[in-house]
């Protein structure tokens, strides 16, 4: 016989994960916009996409737009284009994280230099996939390569620990 459990109690037994949202933005040469974490940050000196954790009650696209604005000063359009999801089992001892990746479009040449960094980052740059091999990244090169391809095709990719599922 199956014993009935109140919903509130059942919910506490379910797996929990943090949610993050990141943005893939390209320039006219299909290079990725990456930001370098500044001194005092957990990933200081490492490069990664604009993005971060969701605030309480925030949906992933709203978080992606907010993080992009906060970290770069760039406003994204109103229509989300989901290009990837990554499940990471344990991030810095905090437990599982689901990353939602959105394509933020291609910036016109005049806007490439309009990036206004937050205090969290000390540099930004535009990088072709071949340039990524020499950069200290906050995640594997294969993750950015898969996301770059997904942005070019606007076809979502499903990742596990940064590796595309095959």
- Going by pLDDT thresholds of 50, 70 and 90, the confidence category of residue 18 is confident
pLDDT above 70 for 153: yes
pLDDT above 80 for 160: yes
pLDDT tens digits, residue range 76-97? 988 889 999 999 887 777 778 8
pLDDT above 80 for 110: no
Mean pLDDT of all residues in the chain?
A: 91
Mean pLDDT on 8-24 = 88
Q: Does 93 or 102 have the greater pLDDT score? A: 102
The beta strand positions in 18-143, using DSSP E, are 18-26, 32-37, 47-48, 51-53, 82-88, 97-106, 121-127
Say what percent of the chain tops pLDDT 70.
Answer: 96
pLDDT above 70 for 2: no
Mean pLDDT on 25-39 = 96
Domain residue ranges of the chain, discontinuous segments joined by +? 16-164
pLDDT above 80 for 147: yes
Question: What does residue 153 show for φ and ψ, rounded to 5 degrees?
Answer: -90, -15
pLDDT above 70 for 150: yes
Selecting from 3.90.79.10, 3.40.50.2000, 3.40.50.1820, 3.40.1000.10, what CATH number does the domain 16-164 have? 3.90.79.10
pTM: 0.89
Bridge partner residues of 127 (DSSP): 32
Centre a 10 Å sphere on the Cβ of residue 158 and count the other Cβ atoms it contains. 13
CB 45 within 8 A of CB 36: yes
The closest alpha carbon to 39, from 120, 114, 106, belongs to 120
């Amino acid at each position: 016989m199956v014993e009935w459990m109140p919903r509130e109690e059942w919910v506490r037994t379910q797996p929990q994960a943090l949610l993050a949202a990141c943005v893939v933005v390209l320039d006219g040469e299909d290079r990725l916009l990456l930001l370098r974490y500044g001194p005092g940050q957990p990933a200081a000196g490492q490069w990664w996409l604009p993005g971060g954790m969701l605030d309480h009650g925030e949906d992933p696209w709203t978080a992606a737009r907010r993080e992009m604005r906060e970290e770069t000063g760039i406003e994204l359009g109103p229509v989300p284009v989901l290009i990837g999801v990554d499940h990471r089992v344990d991030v810095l001892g905090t437990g599982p994280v689901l990353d939602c990746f959105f394509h933020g479009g291609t910036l016109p040449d005049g806007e490439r230099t309009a990036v206004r960094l937050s205090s969290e980052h000390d540099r930004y740059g535009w990088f072709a996939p071949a340039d990524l091999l020499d950069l200290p990244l906050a995640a594997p090169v294969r993750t950015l390569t898969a996301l770059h391809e997904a942005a070019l095709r606007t076809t979502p990719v499903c990742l596990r620990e940064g590796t595309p599922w095959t």
